[in-house]
Amino acid sequence: MNTLALDTADQVLSVALASETGISYAELDAHNRHSELLMQSADALCRTAGIKPADLGLVACMRGPGSFTGLRIGFSAAKGIATALKIPLAAVPTLDCLAYPLSAWQGIALPAMDAKKGCFFAALYREGLRLTDYMDASPQALADEIAKARLFPSERVILTGCGAEMLHSRLAAYFPSGHIVVNPLARKGHAKELIEIAKDTILYGETNSEPVYLRKSDAELNTGKNG
């Protein structure tokens, strides 16, 4: 099945296409240019694979948490494609997708995204299974969750995601050196993982579902203050 995957949840934009010729992939450190670059990248992958958009059988995107703007762009594009072509949409929780490549890690995997205001979108995983809720949490709160989740005091924790380096520096005060490490591939897109997860769970989400946010946007908060 020809599958298109769109990862716009954070600063790194990635797009992947699985077709009969294999998996093609594009990744850009897009910052605030997701809307400009997303469909260009998807069209280029389709041309390279020799297929038309009408040949797609499944589209996948990040469900959240993540950047408010990035999630809206990716979800709107994926929903538009799914609706126009009458194909399934697989909306995959972002943190599950970030943790997926670390399922074989012997310890705790902690995907982290900078949520601003001193906090991180994060969750704890062991052997691919989620141990906590999806969190919008401070480094101290995450340190407490790590301490509760550890099977033994020195169980290692690997951080991944675009917020991994920042969180690592802020957790240093809570743990001995070497207990918390950063995935060397932490800052990358995860469109390939979206495709792998979508293969296992075709209808992870529904075409009429919406992105999952763990907090209100600044605009919503300001509206509440003014109301």
Q: Decide: helix, strand or coil at residue 111.
A: strand
pLDDT digits (tens, 9 = 90+) for 161-190: 999 999 999 999 999 999 999 999 999 999
CB-CB contact of 14 with 188 (8 Å): yes
Residue 54 binned pLDDT confidence (cut-offs 50, 70, 90): very high
Cα(61)–Cα(58) distance, integer angstroms? 10
Give pLDDT, residue 205.
46
Give pLDDT, residue 221.
44
Beta strands 180-182 and 129-130 are unpaired
Cα(125)–Cα(207) distance, integer angstroms? 27
Give pLDDT, residue 31.
74
Domain boundary assignment for the chain: 3-93+188-226, 95-182
- For residue 42, CA distances in Å to 25, 78, 84, 192, 220 come to 9, 11, 16, 13, 31
Peptide bond just before 65 cis, omega within 30 deg: yes
Instruction: Give the bridge partners for 111, in sequence order.
Output: 160
Q: What is the DSSP letter of 55?
A: G
Which residue type is seen at 142?
L
Is a pLDDT exceeding 50 seen at residue 158? yes
pLDDT digits (tens, 9 = 90+) for 20-34: 989 999 998 877 788
Cα(13)–Cα(32) distance, integer angstroms? 10
Is a pLDDT exceeding 80 seen at residue 9? yes
Give pLDDT, residue 213.
87
Which CATH code fits 3-93+188-226?
3.30.420.40
Give pLDDT, residue 207.
44
Q: Name the nearest CA neighbour of 4 among 72, 82, 96.
A: 82
Is a pLDDT exceeding 90 seen at residue 222? no
| pLDDT, averaged across the chain | 90
pLDDT digits (tens, 9 = 90+) for 63-121: 999 999 999 999 999 999 999 999 989 999 999 999 999 999 999 999 999 999 999 99
Domain 95-182, classified CATH 2.70.98, yes or no: no
* 76 CB-near residues (< 8 Å, 6+ apart): none
Percent of the chain past pLDDT 70, that is, above it, reads 91
Beta strands 129-130 and 125-126 are antiparallel
Ramachandran area for residue 112 (φ above 0: left; ψ -120 to 50: alpha; else beta): beta
Helices (H), 22-135: 34-49, 68-85, 94-99
Q: Do domains 3-93+188-226 and 95-182 have the same CATH topology?
A: yes
pLDDT digits (tens, 9 = 90+) for 56-73: 999 999 999 999 999 999
Residue carrying structure tokens 């093609």: 24
